[in-house]
Amino acid sequence: MSNRAIAIMVFVLIAATGYLLVMGDGDIDMGGEKHGAEALHVDDKKPAAPAPTASPTAEAVKK
């Protein structure tokens, strides 16, 4: 490929990428890491593990 063909292809790809970013409905936030009230943290709540029960042999060893 010639240098001119490569330059045209790069220009077309840049133009297509710019068009998709401008016309897309996505909410692109390039502001970096957020802190404070604007930060959205969603923690998955896991159910508490049940307390372990003592086995009959463990009680017999204690006595």
Give one word for 36, left, alpha or beta, with left for phi > 0 and alpha for psi -120 to 50: left
Domain definitions of the chain by residue range: 1-25
* pTM for this prediction: 0.41
Terminal CA-CA length for the chain: 87
Q: What does the CA dihedral 24, 29, 30, 31 come to, rounded to 10 degrees? A: 160
Residues 13, 5: contact at Cβ < 8 Å?
A: no
Q: Would you write out the chain's pLDDT as a tens digit for each of its 63 residues? A: 799 999 999 999 999 998 988 888 777 777 778 777 766 666 666 666 666 666 666 556 665
